[in-house]
Structure 1
Amino acid sequence: MASKTHYTILLLSAVTASLFAGSAAGVYHIVGAGKGWRMAPNKTYYEDWARTRNISIGDKLMFLYRSGVYNIVEVPTKELFDKCSMKSITNRYQNGPTIIELTQQGPRYYFCGVGKHCEEGQKLAINVSAIAPPQQDAPNTSSATVSTRAALCYLAGLAVCVVSELLM
């Protein structure tokens, strides 16, 4: 069995690779960075994470979590989000990892619907902005390159899941 150091290096490599996987088709955001989608260490963890991100239409949120232990519930309003209410669910995702493509501008609200996870801070509110203007000096990107970057990001996410599972 590999040492914890080897798994940590693999985790850092996967996160770094995903950071460079942005493309004209959108940027992948690993929710919670290296921690993934799990019980937050404090009630503002995911709020603090979101505050440091510029999220636009076409970007993708990558939620890294273990199926059966965590899930993702999307609700349409801040009021339902603040109350961790599951009365009017827009979407529910149960099989991690989950990638959600952001196709509309405006606020989006997600939380974990398991137990009291939401009340303990496992919740994420973001504001999706209009499509970011393209960089003028950026080279043209072929669809093969975009597909390769997307695959790299997905594999990086899977690597993070495997490593976090092994470190548990």
Structure 2
Amino acid sequence: MSAAAPHAKGWSTLSVALHWTIVVLIVVQFIDHEWMVDLWRATRRAAPIDATTEAWGWVHIVAGSLILIATLARLLDRYAHGRPPYPAEEPTWASWLARITHGLIYAILILMPIAGLIAWFGMIGEAGEIHEFLWTPLLVLIGLHVIGALAQQFWFKTGVLKRIFVPGTV
């Protein structure tokens, strides 16, 4: 196989499933964030930890690990099967913005869980700071991604939203 992924007819079933799995897991991370912060602080101080904080903290750790695995699996699937071409009716600047946004989202979805795991299992505060710092850029990029998808659908009228809901759709 060449270094460049081929163009696919549409997103694979696996890629669509992983996309929405990652979305759900990010929502879980948003919900359980404060418990993880409490667990981190209590663990660092060797303070008592209540069962709820401990349980939700571990949900955060597991969900973050699953985000890392799902992101890597999605990238492997994308490499193996390609990605659908950007719509021809979309302006070049919009395609480039989408490429940059997707690349940065993937980078954060890989780096953030790794930093979190290093922070937690290595008790390395700096890794925790990196992990925490990446949250805001991730939210900004997700917002840009959603706005871009809606712009493609309703402004450029590319019908691109259907691709992430119906596998194999161009």
TM class by shorter chain equals under 0.3
> Greater helix percent: which structure?
2
> Greater strand percent: which structure?
1
TM-score for both structures, normalised by structure 2: 0.26
TM-score for both structures, normalised by structure 1: 0.26
